[in-house]
């Protein structure tokens, strides 16, 4: 009888031996404060740290790109009518994307933890991602909104 539990599969030995991954919950903060671009950059880097297959890393990237596009579309549709509620849209979509991205990393992250692995701190890279990529995302969204208004 074989187990269908992914934690008991031979992939336990395939976790990354490079830099330690970050906690999945910490990635949610980056997505909330930094947006889809920052959240996805951290999720992709973490997926690589976890040693996830290339296909999974590409899916995580595609989810982030879709979240960024959806954020722009929602801002175009709602626009100035939303007022401060429009800022909520800038947070809702990246957090939803984070939830899916974290789900894709969950099994390998659990295996890492069960092997006694210690997670790396995301504080420094997370703040950098929020500041740099979050600002870049806001500038890109503003540029798209300005281009459409013309």
Look up residue 95 and give its two tokens: 């957090």
Closest CA to 133 of 51, 57, 67: 67
Query: Hey, how many other C-beta atoms are within 10 angstroms of the C-beta on 22?
Result: 24
Q: Name the phi and psi angles at 115, rounded to 5.
A: -80, 5
Q: Where are the domains of the chain?
A: 21-149
Instruction: Per residue of the chain (150 residues), give pLDDT as tens.
Output: 555 666 655 555 555 568 999 999 999 999 999 999 999 999 999 999 999 999 999 999 999 999 999 998 888 887 656 566 666 767 899 999 999 999 999 999 999 999 999 999 999 999 999 999 999 998 998 898 889 887
Query: Hey, how many other C-beta atoms are within 10 angstroms of the C-beta on 134?
Result: 23
Look up residue 8 and give its two tokens: 């008991």
- pTM score: 0.85
């Amino acid at each position: 009888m074989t187990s269908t539990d992914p934690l008991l599969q031979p992939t336990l030995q395939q976790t990354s031996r490079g830099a330690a991954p970050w906690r999945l919950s910490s990635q949610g903060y980056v997505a909330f404060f930094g947006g889809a671009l920052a959240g996805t950059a951290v999720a992709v880097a973490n997926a690589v740290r976890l040693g996830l297959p290339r296909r999974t890393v590409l899916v995580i990237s595609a989810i982030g790109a879709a979240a960024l596009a959806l954020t722009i579309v929602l801002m175009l549709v709602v626009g100035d009518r939303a007022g401060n509620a429009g800022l909520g849209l800038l947070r809702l979509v990246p957090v939803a994307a984070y939830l899916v991205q974290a789900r894709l990393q969950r099994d390998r992250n659990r295996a890492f933890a069960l092997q006694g692995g210690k997670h790396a701190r995301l504080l420094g890279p997370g703040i950098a991602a929020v500041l740099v990529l979050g600002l870049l995302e806001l500038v890109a969204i503003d540029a798209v909104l300005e281009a459409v208004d013309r």
